[in-house]
């Protein structure tokens, strides 16, 4: 299937554009996220892509805040809140319950932050994937525990300042959660970025049609947590892709493919220096030259791996 | 059909774990999620076997932890499925967060707790520290004295849980019951179906009628989009407490109906043995209550008027009923297979609080026994009662702390 096309339920392919995406809004205006919140943007497109035919399970996170305070919510899909560590177990319960009752046609959607995915929830997630649970898990990654006021997570980058790495910054780099999930041998793994909503939309639509455990890792810049003006969210997200900090790809049944902006960058071989991304954010204000070097090498190595894999898939 | 013969034909020899698995099967559970731990493991194996053999039409989820087991159950329960899990000791402790969640969300999950000591140090044998430590999580707690009661209590647990939307924990002693075979009357599926109607969830998870459950809830009531004032967190907590308080009626009614259908009545929060003329009452919970009956026999032979009160339901705690039952006794001797560190055994504290302000004037003695599987002999219990009687007669009244029956 050519890049940028997505298979709809009919047997024709149509390019996803801002014009032909689902018109209906499932995330109504007026939620409690910060101005310029990329999670809010990503979630809007995720729900559109699924056309609201979901049951969502949500652990403690900024998404809990987005879902509102009882008895008012701006989210118009059924939702279960669940304890922090239990996202994938809760999804397993939803899937099992629906199956036991013979109810079909709904996507069980688990959406958790990086803390809920990389850290406290990884055990339940790994087990759900190993059991080949039929659900879509979306990790939105703002690279820290934002709901509790911005502390380090397993996804916070090397050199970033956070509430628990307050002065010298984090001394370790993030883990590659998409690679970890791919190692489970699940049928679909993808990365996405709120600054590229159509790419995200297409990936969610594709994931919807696949059975088994599907995992999408969505990068969501966070203005208060990362220290950039909230008007710059989209720009920061784009810089992340343009510098290779985030690589947009999908792995479908083991076949790797670069997508969207990452695919064009690969064609033009014009990755920007990572420094351009780092200098825009207050959290990297104390990063050392040595750390920038380490991160740049890490980005280069991963980028090369992705290019090799993309090349392998094409040949 | 001759009822007696039918019952006899259905008598099986079962250990406690098999009785629990049978109880879940007869209750037609739809989603099972459990994680093995000694001495509960055979429950998970039996249920998996039922599902694989298609004797039970259920989803068996082999989760990676007890925390996930209960998370699977809560979410499946929200969808509308009847759910079951079983655990022991560290597994129950590991579930702690989810125990609160299940009760807070008012989900009628049923859990079998095979009572086992908790570490450190490691110990796989029986005491009741595990479930007693979870008494404040909002679950109903029922304790079985024998394997028949395990099976019967699980079936009743679903009736109770699903009529008042409160989860129920059925507790039974590890090894003493879990691995000890006894005759158990196994009712027919048709009879259980008559007793146990289908589960009607109070939750709706439907895109056509989208609802969000367990959102952040403020302490105070708040107005919804239609201008209706809705409960705050505090009101929701009150409703859970009210449900537990009122559940006594449901528990007794369900126990009575069970008796009418199956010939074994559970129309009481506790078991009584020779309380009518007793001036000394032994109180114990679970299988220990059976041992207490043997101790009472010994004491009666010695001319003491001793009765036994076997606590069946620990939460809700039957305060008023207990105060009435113990009104005439001079001495209440409690045996606790648990310890609330820094105070005394939990059932002792509860009984004291039940008697406060009531006409009952009994002296209370508490003995901590059987921790980590330490054998509790009827003879030891009888001796403890005699010692208590002697000291009470000498004017030594309530003691600040419990006595331990151990080598120190
Ligand atoms: C067991 C448990 N530990 C800690 C918390 C507190 N807590 C709530 S949200 C959160 C961080 C969430 O981080 P993440 O998953 O990355 O989501 P984000 O807030 O960044 O959107 C923490 C630590 C909790 N709710 N439960
Ligand atoms: S802290 Fe960040 S992720 Fe959370 S709501 Fe605000 S902008 Fe969004
Ligand atoms: Mg986060």
Ligand 2 centroid to Cα of residue A114, in Å, is 12
Predicted pLDDT of residue A18:
83
A-proximal residues of B, 95-134, CB under 8 Å: 97-98, 101
Residue of B nearest to A67 (CA): B215
Predicted pLDDT of residue A10:
44
Top-confidence residue, A18 or B107: B107
Point out the residue among A69, A94, A101 whose CB comes nearest to the CB of B75.
A94
- pTM equals 0.96
Interface test with B, best of A89, A102, A127 (most B CBs within 10 A): A89
Ligand 2 neighbours by CB, cut-off 6 Å: A 33-34, 37, 39, 62, 142, 146, 222-225
Q: Is B64 on the interface with A (CB under 8 A)?
A: yes
Element (H, E) at A94: helix A87-100
User: What does the pLDDT profile of chain B (408 residues) look like in tens digits?
Assistant: 344 433 444 999 999 999 999 999 999 999 999 999 999 999 999 999 999 999 999 999 999 999 999 999 999 999 999 999 999 999 999 999 999 999 999 999 999 999 999 999 999 999 999 999 999 999 999 999 999 999 999 999 999 999 999 999 999 999 999 999 999 999 999 999 999 999 999 999 999 999 999 999 999 999 999 999 999 999 999 999 999 999 999 999 999 999 999 999 999 999 999 999 999 999 999 999 999 999 999 999 999 999 999 999 999 999 999 999 999 999 999 999 999 999 999 999 999 999 999 999 999 999 999 999 999 999 999 999 999 999 999 988 888 899 999 999
Could you tell me if B82 and B61 lie in one domain?
A: yes
What's the gap in Å between the CA of B179 and the closest CA on chain A?
A: 30
Interface test with B, best of A53, A66, A93, A127 (most B CBs within 10 A): A93
Ligand 1 pocket, residue A116 CB under 6 Å:
yes
Predicted pLDDT of residue A14:
67
Length of chain A in residues, anyone? 315
Full 3-state SS string of chain B: CCHHHHHHHCEEEECHHHHHHHHHHHCCCCEEEECCCCCCHHHHHHHHHHHHCCCCCCEEEECCCHHHHHHHHHHHHHHCCCEEEEECHHHHHHCHHHHHHHHHCCCCCEEEEEECCCCCCCCCCCCCHHHHCCHHHCCEEEECCCHHHHHHHHHHHHHHHHHHCCCEEEEEECCCCCCCCEEEECCCHHHHHHHCCCCCCCCCCECCECCEECCECCCCCEECCCCCEECCHHHHHHHHHHHHHHHHHHHHHHHHHHHHHHCCCCCCCEEEECCCCCCEEEEEECCHHHHHHHHHHHHHHCCCCEEEEEECEEECCCHHHHHHHCCCCCEEEEEECCCCCCCCCHHHHHHHHHHCCCCCCCEEEEEECCHHHCCCCHHHHHHHHHHHHHHHHCCCCCCCCCEECCCC
Determine the atom of ligand 1 nearest the C-alpha atom of A145. Answer: 13
Could you tell me if B280 and B387 lie in one domain?
A: yes
CA quadruple B140, B152, B77, B114: dihedral sign: positive
Could you tell me if B104 and B253 lie in one domain?
A: yes
Predicted pLDDT of residue B4:
43
Ligand 1 pocket, residue A226 CB under 6 Å:
no
Whether residue B38 lies inside any domain: the answer is yes
Could you tell me if B290 and B351 lie in one domain?
A: yes
Residue of A nearest to B96 (CA): A83
Report ipTM (2 d.p.).
0.96
Could you tell me if B103 and B198 lie in one domain?
A: yes
Could you tell me if B191 and B278 lie in one domain?
A: no
Whether A72 sits inside 8 A of B80 (CB atoms) is no
Could you tell me if B173 and B293 lie in one domain?
A: no
pLDDT band, very low/low/confident/very high, at A13 (cuts 50, 70, 90): low
Q: Which CATH superfamily is A38-314 part of?
A: Thiamin diphosphate (ThDP)-binding fold, Pyr/PP domains (3.40.50.970)
Is residue B238 within 8 Å of B245, Cβ to Cβ? no
The domain that contains B108 carries what CATH number?
3.40.50.970
Whether A79 sits inside 8 A of B59 (CB atoms) is no
Could you tell me if B154 and B297 lie in one domain?
A: no
Could you tell me if B398 and B286 lie in one domain?
A: yes
Tally Cβ neighbours within 10 Å of residue A288: 12
Residue A315, SS3 per DSSP: coil
Predicted pLDDT of residue B8:
42
Ligand 1 pocket, residue A153 CB under 6 Å:
yes
Whether A99 sits inside 8 A of B61 (CB atoms) is no
CA angle B302, B272, B180 (to 5 degrees): 90
Is residue A158 within 8 Å of A172, Cβ to Cβ? yes
Could you tell me if B83 and B177 lie in one domain?
A: yes
Tokens 């009470």 sit on residue: B392
Predicted pLDDT of residue B1:
39
Query: Would the pLDDT of A1 be above 70?
Result: no
Over residues A182-216, the pLDDT tens digits come to 999 999 999 999 999 999 999 999 999 999 999 99
Whether residue B156 lies inside any domain: the answer is yes
Q: Is B204 on the interface with A (CB under 8 A)?
A: yes
Over residues A85-124, the pLDDT tens digits come to 999 999 999 999 999 999 999 999 999 999 999 999 999 9
In chain B, the number of structural domains is 2
Could you tell me if B295 and B196 lie in one domain?
A: no
Whether the ω angle into residue A21 lies within 30 degrees of 0, i.e. cis, is no
Whether residue B166 lies inside any domain: the answer is yes
Ligand 1 pocket, residue A40 CB under 6 Å:
no
Q: How far apart are CA A116 and CA A112, in angstroms?
A: 5
Determine the atom of ligand 1 nearest the C-alpha atom of A140. Answer: 21
CA dihedral B50, B53, B54, B55 (to 10 degrees): -50
Residue B267: exposure state from Cβ atoms within 10 A (0-12, 13-18, ≥19): middle
Residue A5, SS3 per DSSP: strand
Predicted pLDDT of residue A294:
98
| Full domain range(s) for residue B151 | 10-202+244-262
Q: Considering only CA atoms, which residue is closest to atom 13 of ligand 1?
A: A145
Q: Considering only CA atoms, which residue is closest to atom 4 of ligand 2?
A: A62
The set of residues, in sequence order, having a beta carbon less than 8 Å from that of A42 and lying 6+ positions away, is: A140, A192, A194, A197, A200, A218, A220
Point out the residue among B67, B101, B225 whose CB comes nearest to the CB of A72.
B225
Whether A94 sits inside 8 A of B76 (CB atoms) is yes
Could you tell me if B251 and B325 lie in one domain?
A: no
What are the φ and ψ backbone dihedral angles of B108, each rounded to 5 degrees?
Answer: -80, 55
pLDDT band, very low/low/confident/very high, at A35 (cuts 50, 70, 90): very high
Q: How far apart are CA B254 and CA B273, in angstroms?
A: 22
Q: How far apart are CA B316 and CA A32, in angstroms?
A: 39
The DSSP-derived string for A214-278 is EEEEEE---HHHHT--GGGHHHHHHHHHHTTSS--EEEETTEEEE-HHHHHHHHHT-PPPTHHHH
What's the gap in Å between the CA of A8 and the closest CA on chain B?
A: 21
What's the gap in Å between the CA of A193 and the closest CA on chain B?
A: 26
Over residues A138-173, the pLDDT tens digits come to 999 999 999 999 999 999 999 999 999 999 999 999
* Best CA proximity match to B132, nearest among B77, B173, B86, B71: B173
């Amino acid at each position: 299937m050519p890049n940028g096309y997505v298979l709809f339920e009919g047997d024709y392919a149509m390019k996803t554009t801002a014009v032909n995406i689902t018109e209906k809004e499932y995330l109504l205006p007026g939620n409690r996220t910060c101005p310029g919140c990329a999670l809010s943007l990503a979630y809007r497109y995720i729900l559109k892509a699924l056309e609201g035919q979901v049951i969502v399970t949500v652990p403690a996170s900024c998404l809990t805040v987005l879902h509102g305070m009882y008895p008012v919510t701006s989210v118009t899909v059924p939702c279960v809140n669940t304890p922090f560590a239990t996202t994938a177990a809760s999804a397993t319960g939803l899937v099992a319950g629906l199956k036991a009752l013979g109810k079909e046609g709904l996507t069980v959607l688990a959406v958790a932050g990086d803390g809920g995915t990389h850290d406290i929830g990884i055990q339940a997630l790994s087990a759900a994937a190993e059991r080949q649970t039929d659900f879509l898990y979306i990790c939105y990654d703002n690279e820290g525990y934002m709901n509790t006021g911005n502390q380090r997570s397993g996804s916070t980058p090397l050199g970033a300042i956070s509430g628990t790495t307050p002065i010298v910054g984090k001394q370790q780099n993030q883990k590659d959660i998409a690679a970890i999930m791919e190692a489970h041998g699940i049928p679909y793994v993808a990365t996405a970025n709120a600054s590229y909503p159509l790419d995200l939309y297409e990936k969610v639509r594709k994931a919807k049609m696949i059975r088994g455990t599907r995992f999408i890792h969505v990068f969501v810049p966070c203005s208060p947590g990362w220290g950039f003006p909230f008007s710059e969210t989209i720009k920061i997200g784009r810089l992340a892709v343009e510098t290779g900090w985030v690589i947009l790809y999908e792995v479908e049944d083991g076949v790797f493919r670069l997508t969207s902006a990452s695919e064009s960058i690969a064609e033009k071989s014009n990755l920007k220096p990572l420094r351009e991304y780092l200098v825009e954010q207050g959290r990297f204000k104390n990063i050392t030259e040595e750390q920038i070097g380490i991160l740049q090498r890490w980005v280069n190595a991963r980028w090369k791996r992705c290019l090799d894999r993309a090349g392998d898939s094409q040949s | 059909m001759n009822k007696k013969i039918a019952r006899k034909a259905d008598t099986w020899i079962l250990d406690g774990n098999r009785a629990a698995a049978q109880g879940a099967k007869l209750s037609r559970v739809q989603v099972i999620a459990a994680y093995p731990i000694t001495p509960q493991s055979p429950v998970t194996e039996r249920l998996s076997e039922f599902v694989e053999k298609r004797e039970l039409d259920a989803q068996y989820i082999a989760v990676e932890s007890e925390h996930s087991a209960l998370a699977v159950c809560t979410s499946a329960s929200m969808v509308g499925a009847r759910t079951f899990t079983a655990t022991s000791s560290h597994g129950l402790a590991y579930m702690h967060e989810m125990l609160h969640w299940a009760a807070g969300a008012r989900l009628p999950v049923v859990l079998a707790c095979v009572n086992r000591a908790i570490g450190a140090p490691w110990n796989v044998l029986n005491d009741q520290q595990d479930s007693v430590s979870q008494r404040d999580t909002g679950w109903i707690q029922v304790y079985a004295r024998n394997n028949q009661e395990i099976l019967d209590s699980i079936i009743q647990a679903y009736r109770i849980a699903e009529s008042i939307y409160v989860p129920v924990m059925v507790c039974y002693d590890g090894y003493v019951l879990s691995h000890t075979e006894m005759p158990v009357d196994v009712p027919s599926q048709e009879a259980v179906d008559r007793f146990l109607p289908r589960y009607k969830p109070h939750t709706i998870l439907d895109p056509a009628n989208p609802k969000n459950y367990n959102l952040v809830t403020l302490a105070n009531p708040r107005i919804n989009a239609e201008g209706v004032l809705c409960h705050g967190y505090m009101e929701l907590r009150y409703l859970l407490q009210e449900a537990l308080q009122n559940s006594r009626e449901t528990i007794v009614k369900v126990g009575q109906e069970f008796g009418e259908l199956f010939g074994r009545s559970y129309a009481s929060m506790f078991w009584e043995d020779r309380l009518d003329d007793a001036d000394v009452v032994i109180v114990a919970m679970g299988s220990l209550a059976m041992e207490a009956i043997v101790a009472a026999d010994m004491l009666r032979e010695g001319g003491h008027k001793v009765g036994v009160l076997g606590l069946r339901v620990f939460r809700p705690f039957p305060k008023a009923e207990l105060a009435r039952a113990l009104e005439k006794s001079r001495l209440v001797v409690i045996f606790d297979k648990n310890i609330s560190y820094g105070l005394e055994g939990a059932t002792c504290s509860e009984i004291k609080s039940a008697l406060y302000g009531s006409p009952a004037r009994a002296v209370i003695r508490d003995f901590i026994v059987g921790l980590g599987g330490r054998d509790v002999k009827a003879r030891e219990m009888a001796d403890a009662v005699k010692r208590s009687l002697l000291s009470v007669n000498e004017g030594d009244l309530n003691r600040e702390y419990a006595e331990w029956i151990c080598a120190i």
